[in-house]
Amino acid sequence: MERLPESLLMEIFRRIGKTSDRNSLSLVSKYIHFIEREQRNFLRVGCGLHPATEALTSLCIRFPNLKKIEIIYSGWMSNLGKQLDNQGLLVISSHCHSLSELTLSFCSFINDTGLGYLVSCKNLASFKLNFAPAISSNGILSLVVGCKKLNTLHLIRCMKVSSVEWLEYLGRLGTLEDLVIKNCRAIGEDDLTKLGPGWRKLKHLEFEVDAYYRYPKICNNISVDRWLRQDVSCDELKELSLMNCIIASGRGLSFVLGKCRSLEKLHLDMCIGVKDADMAALSQCSKNLKCLSLHLPSQFLAPVLVNSPLQMTDDSLRALAQGCSMLEEVELCFSDGEFPSISCFTQNGILALIESCPIRVLVLNSCCFFNDVGLAALCTAHFLEHLELVKCQEITDEGIMLVMSFPYLNTLKLSKCLGVTDDGLKPLVGSGKLETLIVEDCPQISEHGVLGTARVVSYKQDLSWLY
């Protein structure tokens, strides 16, 4: 192998993904060891690093061209040795001059001082923080001020990050494209207005409020006026995911839904206050929408938080059917925890989407109103390839037998469906109709009943959900 050209050896290393395989290959000869040393640009370390700082120093010296580093201490306990602390980030900033991506996960001993060392990483473009209890807003601010190329920022379960001066700074800087804020208790929905002109460059946004601790920040008139004055522009936003958010009329995020001209993926999970008018505005603006996921909250929760009942009905689905002609993937979930939520949607609304849009993937979860008649209507869905039915208790064997008539369906998943038995699957046995059949926790379907129903069959039976 030493006689091979260096360019060919580099290509061989690029195609080897497992770290253990790379390490083994580098022991073949000094030349290959040198090639691997120069080519390695990714490093993941964590509980096995001992002694932590010394071992990391050795690795950073051995691999001088590292561009991506992940430090993950998930599952760490004190008997596994000392975690990396601020000195670890000092080592990285001193030796990894090409660093562009850094992820810190469950790093309990790194604080604002450590983030200050990263200011010297001038090429840092992506920073992801998952559960860092010692890091505060000051550390985040020092990072974003020092790293001018930052375009990706993820903050997950960062309890001490409160004030959002760093968000204002990123907005003025105008480089942020990917922003994720999840379960940071002191950051509310209306704080996102602080991003200001930075909304124009944003392409991916995920915002999740802690469901068990909703920050009691009340939207005031000043916050609403700020959204209106800024005339928020989201023309570049392609992916939007909101979870446990309040999106009532006049609240900040309600202004966003109707201004996403490039939106391709939308995920609304347990978001309260969304109305038909919001979805109509979205459908008129987001003509490129391809993926839609709606997980609706309980009817009884909405009046408590926004002083009005849920307003989403079939009109929302009809508006999407008319305005979003590129919609390919749809997921509708009507479950609030272990119990189904009361829905204002009907079977007709879902069928309107199927008739007007090229739906390839359809997932229905806890749709108590969807029955065999609905499945019969899906026989005209000429684009449908993937169908998932979860806790759809009105579906019976008669409806499942209609799967044979679906033009292009190749994947079927049944989960926690009480009304389907082995008899409903018999027409599929030996037919070659399905490529994949997945059956999970359906009490009346046996392992023997799924044999021969598809080229690839997956079966799992755990009925604890019934009790």
23 and 61: one domain?
no
Does residue 419 lie within any of the structural domains?
no
The tens digit of pLDDT for each residue in 75-101 reads 898 888 899 999 999 999 999 999 999
188 and 75: one domain?
yes
pLDDT at 148: 93
Residue ranges in the chain modelled with pLDDT below 50: 215-222, 303-304
pLDDT at 49: 87
Say how many C-beta atoms besides its own lie within 10 A of residue 174's C-beta: 11
pLDDT at 136: 95
12 and 110: one domain?
no
The CATH number of the domain where 59 resides is what? Answer: 3.80.10.10
Does residue 323 lie within any of the structural domains?
no
In 3D, which of 381, 399, 388, 343 has the Cα closest to residue 362? 388
The CATH number of the domain where 3 resides is what? Answer: 1.20.1280.50
Does residue 354 lie within any of the structural domains?
no
Does residue 424 lie within any of the structural domains?
no
pLDDT at 262: 94
Does residue 66 lie within any of the structural domains?
yes
12 and 69: one domain?
no
Does residue 120 lie within any of the structural domains?
yes
Does residue 446 lie within any of the structural domains?
no
pLDDT at 338: 58
Compute the distance between CA of residue 264 and CA of residue 327 in angstroms, rounded to an integer.
9
DSSP output for 92-119: HHHH-TT--EEEEES-TT--HHHHHHGG
**What Cα–Cα distance (Å) separates residue 69 from each residue in 160, 326, 331, 382?**
24, 38, 35, 45
Q: Rounded to two decimals, what is the model's pTM?
A: 0.87
**What Cα–Cα distance (Å) separates residue 422 from each residue in 328, 413, 442, 444?**
31, 14, 10, 7
143 and 27: one domain?
no
pLDDT at 168: 92
In 3D, which of 409, 466, 415, 397 has the Cα closest to residue 436? 409
Which residues does 155 contact at the CB level (< 8 Å), separation at least 6?
129, 140, 161, 180, 181, 182, 184
How many structural domains are present in the chain?
A: 2
pLDDT at 11: 77
pLDDT at 218: 46
pLDDT at 342: 60
What residues make up the domain containing 13?
1-40
Say if residues 301 and 336 touch (Cβ distance below 8 Å).
yes
CA dihedral (265, 386, 390, 398) in degrees, to 10, reads 140
27 and 46: one domain?
no
Does residue 217 lie within any of the structural domains?
yes
208 and 116: one domain?
yes
